[in-house]
Structure 1
Amino acid sequence: MPRNAFSHVETWVFDLDDTLYRPEVRLFDQIEARMNAWVMESLGLDLPRATRLRRHYWELYGTTLAGLMAEHGTEPDAYLAAVHDIDLSAVAPDPDLAAAVAALPGRKIVFTNGSRAHARNVTAALGLGGVFDALYGFEDAGYTPKPREEAFARVFATDGLAPARAAMFEDAARNLAVPHGLGMRTVLVGTAVEPAAHVHHVTDDLVGFLARLS
């Protein structure tokens, strides 16, 4: 991976869940369980039907919440607070990641489809509380989820970043299509199932990848 591929980057944009920590931490299992519970209670469904509907909305709308808002008028802030009320004891401070992110030249931000509070809680648990210049959540995107272009447009406009001088790190390949189209350098964190033209780089070692850039 040539370091000069990132020599123009002034803003580093990171997804949160399963990007800044490994999927083995399994925080999203807790979030999914709380999503299912919300759907079951609010719509009167049993667990199998709630699970199917949650996945359907994720595929169709980008997030379960976006589907619930569109189809059922769900109030987003109460939902976000409920589904992100999780146990973070499995998240350990990662000083190597903190050092690698801090060493990057320029501005560092988080942009997640979760809530801003969730981003704050998880980055704090990782020992990254003072590393990022800004944390952006679903509410900052106008309750519009990645991968929709409007979500990126809102957050990037708020932050004032120039996409042509930015890089995006994500664990979901579909969320890199719009950043690629905007001229960003794109990095898939995890294992690529198949090559995608909108993914410039793939890594399953975020710390090692970042260390080679600074």
Structure 2
Amino acid sequence: MTPALAHIDAWIFDLDNTLYPASCDLFGLIDQRMTAYVARITGLPRAEAFALQKRYFREHGTTLSGLIADHGVDPHHFLEDVHAIEMDVLAEDRRLIEAIARLPGRKLIFTNGDADYARRVLARVGLSDSFEAIHDIHAMAYQPKPAAAAYASMVQAFGVDPAHALFADDMTRNLAPAKALGLTTLWIDNGSEQAGDDSGDHIDYRTADLGHWLHDILETA
């Protein structure tokens, strides 16, 4: 383990576009279903529904949170609907699987999705047995990343010491609150939809390939 990260004993990972390549565009399938859902709920034409969906994402952290606030949407119904997708675009990455297995300490998932969906993704990419637990949108009481309350709930739920934890996410805006809390941060800069500043001291490490980065830090003495 590289000396700079030898103090890390909790490894916390986002799910989508972090534990699989953004080039798979799995989230693109979800995005389409979200737009259709917003259109049904609001009665808006698809283009306007898409614009509203993205505004909710920017202002509330997730489309779901905006729909809950403005339309009283049942989160379980929404998540079941938008996650009703095939996952055949995903594949196992043996280097990533082996690297995560070798990490010392605890390993957790921290996602704005729900645990059922996360388990389907993890199974498809060969990581079902790699993580201690999943902290999902239900556990966050529907206050998603990047809301500070989401990070506080995760840290409290698992007794994580931020000074000894690393958080990896593909969205830079989700790294800033983690850094403010004291976590080491890793930006998965792989071409997914970024939101937030991609420079500054809230990003400690940066990689386009999580498996490669983990392999490198594990092999560096």
The normalised TM-score by structure 2 is 0.93
Residue 137 of structure 1, CA deviation: 1.2
Distance 1:82 1:157 in 2: 30
Deviations 1:98-128 (A, max 9, x none): 1000100000011111111111000110000
Looking at structure 2, the residues matched to 114 and 80 of structure 1 have their Cα atoms a distance apart, in angstroms, of 8
Name the aligned partner's letter for residue 202 of structure 1: R
Residue identity (%): 38
Deviations 1:172-203 (A, max 9, x none): 00000111011111000015874222001110
Contact map agreement 1:109 1:135 (CA 8 A) in 2: yes
Task: State how 1:145-184 maps to structure 2 within 5 Å.
Answer: 145-184=144-183
Deviation at 1:213, TM superposition (A): 2.3
Distance 1:132 1:26, change over 3 A: same
CA distance in 2, matches of 1:102, 1:141: 26
For 2:111 and 2:198, locate their aligned partners in 1 and report how far apart those are by CA, in whole Å. 24
* SS, match of residue 12 in structure 2: strand
Give the structure 2 partner of residue 77 of structure 1.
Answer: 76
Deviation at 1:64, TM superposition (A): 0.5
| Deviation for aligned residue 1:52 | 0.4
Residues 51-70 of structure 1 aligned to structure 2 (within 5 Å) = 51-70=50-69
| RMSD (Å) for aligned C-alpha atoms | 1.4
How far the C-alpha of 1:96 sits from its partner, in A, is 1.4
Secondary structure of 2:206's match? strand
Q: Is the 8 A contact 1:104 1:213 kept in 2?
A: no
Secondary structure (helix, strand or coil) at the match of 1:212 reads helix
Residue 45 of structure 1: how far off its partner (Å): 1.1
Change (3 A) 1:175 1:100: same
Residue type of the alignment partner of 1:203: T
Whole-Å separation in 2 of the counterparts to 1:69 and 1:121: 24
What's the counterpart of residue 117 of structure 2? 118
1:117-151 CA distances to partner (integer Å, 9 max, x unpaired)? Answer: 11100011000010111112111111111000001
Q: Using the alignment, how far apart are the partners of 2:200 and 2:44 within structure 1?
A: 37
Q: Which residue pairs with 1:35 in the alignment?
A: 34
Provide the C-alpha distance between the structure 1 equivalents of 2:181 and 2:15, rounded to a whole number of angstroms.
21
Q: Which amino acid aligns with 2:207?
A: T
Q: Which of 187, 190, 215 is 1:211 aligned to?
A: 215
Contact 1:13–1:167 at 8 Å: present in 2 too?
yes
- The aligned residue for residue 197 of structure 1 is 201
Query: Structure 1 runs of 4+ off > 3 angstroms?
Result: 191-194
Q: Assess if the C-alpha contact under 8 Å between 1:25 and 1:90 holds in 2.
A: yes
Q: Structure 2: how far apart are the matches of 1:108 and 1:121? A: 18
Choose between structure 1 and 2 for higher RCO, CA contacts under 8 A separated by at least 6 residues.
Answer: 2
Tell me, in whole angstroms, the C-alpha distance in 2 between the residues paired with 1:87 and 1:127.
16
Gaps of 5+ in 1: none
TM-aligned CA deviation for residue 72 of structure 1: 1.1
Give runs of aligned pairs for residues 88-127 of structure 1, distance below 5 A.
88-127=87-126
User: What residue ranges of structure 2 are gaps of 5+ in the alignment?
Assistant: none
